[in-house]
């Protein structure tokens, strides 16, 4: 794992009508021919993503997209794909020309801002079109920073880059630490990682690697064990660990093994603080107690993966919740974005940890739940709850723990 995970990068999307020079701008920014440029409107058909470093911001992920003014059946599908990218990004660059900027761009800016992202405008092709002070004043009135450039001659491209850096620096992509605020300097953290059928061959999964790195960055020490080894490792330590973090699926066993006074949580819970909102998920999980026969629950997975026979979202969580409530519930699975799905019928959403999506996307999903006033929780919180150990698994987080009452 020697690169910054994509989910931790600032995500930048380039939007605008066809042929305005979006791909040319991406190529100018990256200094590479990432995207094909041509005079034919509709050259870029599928979103193209590229990782790069921008000095002053660090690692970013840039999406070039298809023109948002495309029409017809295929064009409409391209626009849909571009709109899906809007939900993933933190910063949008709306490209236009001094001659073209108008209602379409204003609508794009409104849509971007409504999704909680920041925007800047790039007016391109100034070698062809004279500057348009009326348009510039209008953009100023909208409170959106802009630059007037030519991707052909390179004029003012540095100013456009500068705007991206200035705006990008102010954006919170992720919390800067996963566990740094709950562990002490020099403390020992015991990580419990089951090596079962679901574990990838020959390596650890990304959230585990990220937690280990974060522990090291915070000058603490990590010991990694499988659940079978907890007992003897705890016995052999001179001082008990300050914190135990385990996989949600073994939280019941681990909570029994961890001595009173040692804080316990799960990988899923620490990650839900990073991308989602732990307090919201703790509030949401309480809805399980009032589910009735026939109620529908939506299990949301960030990515599409090939399900295992005993899949966590498809099999285990539905089984555990059904056993816990004693109710006859209906579970559906949604893999991928939930924005397009009618979710109004569901009584509860249970989201995966979201290790493959960024904070912006997870917040979008929480907003979707909000719009329908549906409680939302996540896998880790729900699993600990139905096993009766959530209070213990929230021991590093007194505020969220207090939301559970006595
Ligand atoms: N004169 C001039 N031409 C430019 C400039 N920037 C881009 N072009 C040209 O404009 C045409 C379209 O550029 P692209 O970068 O492919 O535009 P796009 O917005 O990605 O277009 P689609 O992918 O079709 O939506 C190409 O012929 C470019 O060479 C510029 O600053 N000045
Ligand atoms: Mg293009």
Task: Please choose from 24, 44, 50, 122 the residue to mutate so as to test ligand 1's pocket, defined by most ligand atoms within 8 A of CB.
Answer: 24
Sign of the C-alpha dihedral computed for residues 269, 272, 278 and 280 taken in this order: negative
Residue of minimum CA distance from atom 14 in ligand 1: 21
Token readout for 124 is 């391109």
Nearest CA owner, ligand 1 atom 24: 42
State residue 406's pLDDT score: 77
Nearest ligand 1 atom to alpha carbon 20: 19
Query: pLDDT digit string (tens) for 342-384?
Result: 888 999 999 988 877 877 788 778 878 877 889 999 999 999 9
Q: Which fold has domain 277-386?
A: Rossmann fold (3.40.50)
Token reading at 58: 């660090």
Minimal CA–CA distance to 278: which of 176, 354, 204?
354
Low-confidence residues of the chain: pLDDT under 70: 1-8, 172-176, 305-310, 338-340
- Please report, in angstroms and rounded to a whole number, the separation of the first and last CA atoms in the chain: 42
Instruction: Calculate helix-pair angle for 359-371, 267-275, nearest 10 degrees.
Output: 80
Q: What residue has token string 């960055």?
A: 217
> 149 C-alpha vs ligand 1 centroid, how far in Å?
12
Ligand 1 center from residue 25 Cα (angstroms): 8
Architecture of the 6-169 domain: 3-Layer(aba) Sandwich (3.40)
Q: Is there a shared CATH topology between the 188-271 domain and the 277-386 domain?
A: yes
CATH fold for the domain made of 188-271? Rossmann fold (3.40.50)
- 18 within 8 A of 37, measured Cβ to Cβ: no
Minimal CA–CA distance to 98: which of 65, 118, 68, 127? 127
Q: Which residues lie with the beta carbon below 6 Å from any ligand 1 atom?
A: 18-24, 37-39, 41-44, 66-67, 124-125, 127-128, 150-152
Question: CA nearest 230: which of 219, 217, 240, 215?
Answer: 240
Domain spans of the chain, in order of start: 6-169, 188-271, 277-386
The answer to whether 173 and 146 are in contact (CB under 8 A) is no
Q: How far is the CA of 63 from the centre of ligand 1 (A)?
A: 16
Question: From CA 364, how far away is CA 335, in angstroms rounded?
Answer: 15
* CA 62 – ligand 2 centroid, Å: 13
List, as ranges, residues with CB under 5 A of the ion ligand 2. Answer: 22-23, 43-44
Sheet architecture: strand order including 48-54 = 48-54, 58-64, 10-16, 91-96, 118-123, 146-148
301 forms beta bridges with: 335
Compute the Cα dihedral for 63, 64, 70, 72 and give only its sign.
negative
């Amino acid at each position: 794992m020697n690169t910054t995970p994509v989910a931790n990068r600032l995500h930048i999307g380039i939007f605008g009508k066809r042929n305005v020079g979006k791909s040319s701008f991406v190529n100018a920014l990256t200094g590479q021919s990432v995207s094909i440029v041509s005079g034919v409107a509709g050259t870029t058909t599928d979103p193209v993503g590229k990782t790069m470093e921008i000095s002053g911001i660090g690692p970013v992920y840039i999406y070039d997209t298809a023109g948002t003014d495309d029409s017809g059946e295929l064009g409409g599908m391209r626009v849909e794909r571009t709109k899906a990218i809007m939900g993933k990004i933190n910063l949008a660059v709306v490209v236009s020309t001094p001659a073209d900027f108008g209602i379409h761009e204003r609508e794009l800016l409104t849509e971007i801002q409504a999704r909680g992202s920041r925007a800047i405008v790039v007016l391109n092709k100034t070698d062809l079109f004279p500057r348009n002070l009326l348009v510039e004043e209008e953009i100023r009135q909208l409170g959106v920073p802009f630059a007037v450039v030519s991707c052909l001659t390179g004029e003012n491209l540095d100013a456009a880059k500068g705007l991206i850096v200035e705006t990008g620096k102010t954006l919170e992509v992720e919390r800067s630490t996963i566990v740094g605020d709950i562990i002490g300097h020099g403390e020992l953290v015991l990580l419990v990682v089951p090596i079962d059928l679901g574990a990838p061959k020959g390596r650890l999964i990304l959230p585990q690697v990220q937690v280990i790195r974060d522990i090291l960055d915070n000058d603490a020490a990590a010991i990694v064990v499988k659940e079978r080894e907890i007992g003897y490792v705890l016995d052999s330590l001179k001082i008990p660990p300050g914190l135990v973090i385990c996989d949600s699926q073994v939280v019941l066993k681990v909570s029994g093994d961890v001595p009173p006074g040692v804080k316990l949580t799960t990988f899923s819970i620490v990650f839900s603080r990073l991308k989602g909102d732990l307090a919201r998920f703790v509030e949401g999980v309480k809805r399980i107690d009032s589910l009735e026969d026939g109620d529908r629950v939506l299990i949301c997975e960030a990515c599409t993966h090939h399900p295992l026979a005993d899949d966590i979202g498809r099999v285990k969580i539905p089984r555990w919740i059904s056993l816990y409530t004693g109710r006859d519930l209906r579970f559906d699975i949604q893999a991928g974005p939930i924005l397009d799905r009618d979710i109004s019928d569901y009584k509860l959403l249970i989201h995966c940890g979201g290790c493959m999506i960024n904070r912006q996307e997870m917040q979008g999903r929480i907003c979707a739940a909000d719009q329908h006033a549906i409680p939302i929780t996540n896998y880790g919180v729900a699993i600990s709850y139905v096993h009766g150990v959530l209070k213990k698994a929230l021991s590093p987080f007194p505020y969220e723990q207090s939301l559970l009452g006595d």
